[in-house]
Structure 1
């Protein structure tokens, strides 16, 4: 599991390999990632936007940004956790993702960025 804390917001990530899929005469490797966002701060926060950098072993890079996550802009109270699952498709059997969330502190109205730790996407476990 990959974890990182930024300004009292703890991001935890787990991944799974789902197999291969074929679309438009291409083979893709399908991965799921499970994100847990835990508010360890004293103030309620709201997730406004996401920004991802996704890259694979073939040097393909994709940038994904937009409002919220999985169609939601969740408010997370102190000591609460928000969980979601999403998917990613790569042209190679290994890659990685990382990025950040833009959040707003609902008590101070200040926006801030929360780092999403870079995590591996791989079909088989590898040792370094």
Structure 2
């Protein structure tokens, strides 16, 4: 599990290698990642967009931007959680992901203000990665 808290919002990510959807012979490696977002602050917030920075084992970078997550723009009151699962295919047996969510405060003295929260960097590891000693 990977975890990071920014501005009172805790993001936890758990990547899972999907052997049944991967095909190493075809350079296709697939992961699911489960994300838990918890509002530990004292204001209601809404997740409005996402940004992902995905790097495969060859150093190729893919950037993904979009509204919300899995078709939703969840609103979280203090103490509430939102969970979702998504996926990532890569042409290499390992990689890294990190990103951020664009949030907006929905109440309190800063209502209407946008802010960003970090998604922790996490590794995508498969059983097909061959580690080479230095």
- Per the TM superposition, whether the score is higher than 0.5 is yes
**Cα distance, 1:84 vs. partner?**
0.2
2:59 aligns to what? 59
2:92 aligns to what? 92
Structure 2 unaligned runs (5+)? none
1:78 aligns to what? 78
Q: TM-score, normalised by structure 2?
A: 0.88
2:114 aligns to what? 111
Instruction: Map Cα deviations across residues 52-80 of structure 1 (whole Å, 9 max, x no partner).
Output: 00011111110000100000000011001
2:125 aligns to what? 122
Do the aligned partners of 1:58 and 1:91 also contact (CA within 8 Å) in 2? Answer: no
> SS of the counterpart of 1:16?
strand
4+ long deviations beyond 4 Å = none
Whole-Å Cα distance in 2 between the matches of residues 97 and 54 of structure 1? 5
Number of residue pairs matched by the alignment: 124
**Cα distance, 1:27 vs. partner?**
2.7
Alignment map for 1:7-26 (pairs within 5 Å): 7-19=7-19, 20-21=22-23, 26=26
Whole-Å Cα distance in 2 between the matches of residues 72 and 6 of structure 1? 21
> SS of the counterpart of 2:18?
strand
RMSD (Å), alpha carbons: 1.7
Structure 1 unaligned runs (5+)? none
Q: TM-score, normalised by structure 1?
A: 0.92
Structure with bigger helix share is 2
Structure with bigger strand share is 1
Whole-Å Cα distance in 1 between the matches of residues 47 and 68 of structure 2? 6
Do the aligned partners of 1:32 and 1:88 also contact (CA within 8 Å) in 2? Answer: yes
